[in-house]
Structure 1
């Protein structure tokens, strides 16, 4: 049976907060002891705050630009604002590069953790030592989805948790081989945890019990392994951007072909008629 609940008692997190200590204290104060194989889902915002990922920015757009590696799509809304879907330095494709301006001091924005997988490993190692049990840690953030409205929480950092349940090579209930089935359980768990954490309830940590089969070594692949490599990404650009890129490439190729066929004197007919070579 799967059980999910929010962990109460997490105070306001600031730069330098000891998250291992804060979460451990909240666990002990709650009276609901964690068990072997439990999974903690921690909102990325408190990890970023503890790591001091605040940046002074009067203009959030400047911070987004600084975090952007590649622009995927840009759209201007009817009210004149611009939405940018970009790849950030972590390889994640998301709106605004993960830069967050909500619940931060005036004149600042909050960036994602430097290395969410490393942050998750530090949390998991510290909590395992402090609480004396083997548990897993996921760090979650809210992302949009292509072709679907709304957002959902996904795993951007992971430690001690299988994030992909690779079923390829097994068979379904009718004995047919599974060829492509790879449920992203890391994202599924992060999304399920958000149902009890909420966005404005002050509950940034959730506990998931009932999937101890996914909990293992801290050397398991982290959430970075969920990101699809660029060479296998069939939708690297937005539709408008892909059209513009293809049009520009076609125009350049057409121009080069025309220039090459014009001959040294720029007269295509001269290349076609040897009798006009001037002899």
Structure 2
């Protein structure tokens, strides 16, 4: 398997054709997995906002005050309001805001970014990354005549571990997971619980070559990845009624 960043992409602007930009900068092949950072998907879709666009409500002011009292640093209630508006549910309000996005991803500050946004204060996540991935896949097929998979990626922190890693927010043309249940290990024991989050692993591999900061390489291609002869699953986010961590967070307060 080969993973490489797509070099030479310009700064993406609202309305840009991301698929065309990618196709112009690399020779894609059938079976490639194109991993595209959510930042460029959001920029092309005009998902930028300014803090002055938000009028803080009672919940946002409470969040800002709670974080300030814990960290000693003032939290802008306008930013807190943006997080509230981009969230289906707020799981924790302090010492940081952990939010459930409208498409099921759980992350700090609803994934709102304040880095590499030259023309606005904030960059919001795509409204539906799986829809975006499907559209990008269709656009790439139309422009390059190749059948690829597309993963819309982001970086996210991890409970119990330091550091961030790449994760998949949306995907098309590839199952979310390899389902190993029913297969056997080397000793002949049947696997009963192993489901491998393939799209997250490919997103993390892509992040190794695209990097963070000012690199300007938000797209990576994974070539010669073989899913293998396994059952597959498109489930990546836990069902709410079986998510014991989410339930515990609802009952926890600082």
Q: TM-score range by the shorter chain?
A: 0.7 to 0.9
User: Residue 244 of structure 2 aligns with which residue?
Assistant: 234
Cα deviation for residue 151 of structure 1 reads 1.1
* In the alignment, structure 1 residue 50 sits paired with structure 2 residue 44: yes
Equivalent residues, number: 225
Q: How does 1:161-240 map to 2 (within 5 A)?
A: 161-199=174-212, 200-213=214-227, 225-237=235-247
Contact 1:164 1:184 in 2 (8 A): yes
SS at match of 1:127: helix
Deviations 1:132-156 (A, max 9, x none): 2221100001111122221111000
Contact 1:37 1:136 in 2 (8 A): yes
User: Residue 70 of structure 1 aligns with which residue?
Assistant: 89
SS at match of 2:166: strand
User: Which whole-Å CA distance do the structure 2 matches of 1:19 and 1:121 have between them?
Assistant: 13
Seen in structure 2, the aligned counterparts of structure 1 residues 22 and 107 have a Cα distance that, compared at 3 Å, is closer
Cα deviation for residue 244 of structure 1 reads 5.1
User: Which whole-Å CA distance do the structure 1 matches of 2:253 and 2:46 have between them?
Assistant: 40
SS at match of 2:93: strand
SS at match of 1:90: coil
Cα deviation for residue 238 of structure 1 reads 5.7
SS at match of 2:186: coil
Contact 1:154 1:186 in 2 (8 A): yes
Cα deviation for residue 35 of structure 1 reads 2.2
Length-normalised TM-score, structure 1: 0.76
Which segments of 5 or more consecutive residues in structure 1 lack a partner in the other structure?
A: 28-32, 77-82, 215-219, 246-279
Q: Which has the larger radius of gyration?
A: 1
Length-normalised TM-score, structure 2: 0.83
Cα deviation for residue 212 of structure 1 reads 4.1
SS at match of 1:114: coil
Which segments of 5 or more consecutive residues in structure 2 lack a partner in the other structure?
A: 53-77
User: Which whole-Å CA distance do the structure 2 matches of 1:3 and 1:234 have between them?
Assistant: 37
Cα deviation for residue 105 of structure 1 reads 3.6
Seen in structure 2, the aligned counterparts of structure 1 residues 221 and 123 have a Cα distance that, compared at 3 Å, is farther
* In the alignment, structure 1 residue 142 sits paired with structure 2 residue 142: no
Deviations 1:237-274 (A, max 9, x none): 566x52459xxxxxxxxxxxxxxxxxxxxxxxxxxxxx
Contact 1:38 1:212 in 2 (8 A): no
Contact 1:37 1:213 in 2 (8 A): no
* In the alignment, structure 1 residue 37 sits paired with structure 2 residue 36: no
Cα deviation for residue 108 of structure 1 reads 2.6
User: Which whole-Å CA distance do the structure 2 matches of 1:41 and 1:221 have between them?
Assistant: 19
SS at match of 2:36: strand
- Once the two structures are overlaid, the 10-residue window that deviates more, 106-115 or 154-163, is 106-115
Contact 2:47 2:124 in 1 (8 A): yes
